[in-house]
Amino acid sequence: MSLRLAFMGTPDFSVGILDALVQAGHQVVCVYSQPPRPAGRGQQLQASPVHRRAEALGIPVRTPKSLRHADAQREFAELGLDAAIVAAYGLILPQVVLDAPRLGCINVHASLLPRWRGAAPIHRALLAGDAETGVTIMQMDAGLDTGTMLLKDSIAIGPRMIVSELHDALAAMGARLMVAALPGIADGSLKPEPQPTEGVTYAAKLVKDEGRLDLSRPALELDRQIRGLNPWPGCWIDLPNGEKLKVLSAEPVAGKAAAGTLLDSTGTLACGEGALRLLRVQRPGRGPVDAAAFLNGFPHKVGERLV
């Protein structure tokens, strides 16, 4: 069954979902994405990953700053859609937009709802130490990820998984589930289920200061922070000389001393609980190096507090 669709998405996460819809034979008549943003050293306007992919596929792209204006709402309604597929779009859909397609607007959300409603569900699941996460296909309503659930699948979060790995796995899962859900949505055989009222959590948008590593916290938490916040905002330690030492990779190990104490010559730092062995670090204006190489050029003594 081929459906007449609009696709609404912006980042890399959404590109594979658009591809999957096209490959499944659906008629994607229009793509909506966030407007181009300044990027790079020259701050030139750059179209989003979804925008660029849609153009490569020959699909018309619209980039309104808002869908609250009557003209944008009329243009959307005039598409005569069976459904709109939404995946990390980034704009609020007013009720008139939600109601315009025959089958409504269907969202690909990267969590096991009702856990991690909101902007950053992939990162928050890893940062919180969740054992698993997944994807929920949901019927959108006016709330923040509060609509009824149509299809779910889960994935284990491995003990050394980094956020880019989890992102890619969930993007592939979202593409598969969305294609699988559409026939049942169209013929009514896939019955929506209300979200549970228990277990609701919110995935707040990431902010830059979350990357600062506080060594008074447990090493296990800092490890999740490093695995969950690279490449953005990245994680760092504030050194006594005022430098921010980027921590690109590390691992939790056994160890006990005052937080910030250097425990060995390879770069193991005591934390509030346990210790964190630095593996790859980067000083401002320099390239990444092994932690041991950094320590060779940095005044230190084992047993002293490095930070």
Task: Please write the tens of the pLDDT for every residue from 204-249.
Answer: 999 999 999 999 999 999 999 999 999 999 999 999 888 999 999 9
Give the pLDDT score at 104.
Answer: 98
CATH number of 208-296: 3.10.25.10
Give the pLDDT score at 94.
Answer: 97
State which residues of the chain have pLDDT below 50: none
What stretch(es) of the chain map to CATH 3.40.50.170? Answer: 4-202
Measured distance between the N- and C-terminal CA atoms of the chain, rounded to whole angstroms: 62
Cα separations (Å) of 221 from 77, 118, 130, 235, 271? 47, 22, 12, 12, 10
CATH topology of domain 4-202: Rossmann fold (3.40.50)
Edge-to-edge order in the sheet of strand 4-9: 61-62, 27-32, 4-9, 83-87, 105-109, 132-139, 149-156
Give the pLDDT score at 39.
Answer: 80
Give the model confidence (pLDDT) of 6-31 as tens digits.
Answer: 999 999 999 999 999 999 999 999 99
What stretch(es) of the chain map to CATH 3.10.25.10? Answer: 208-296
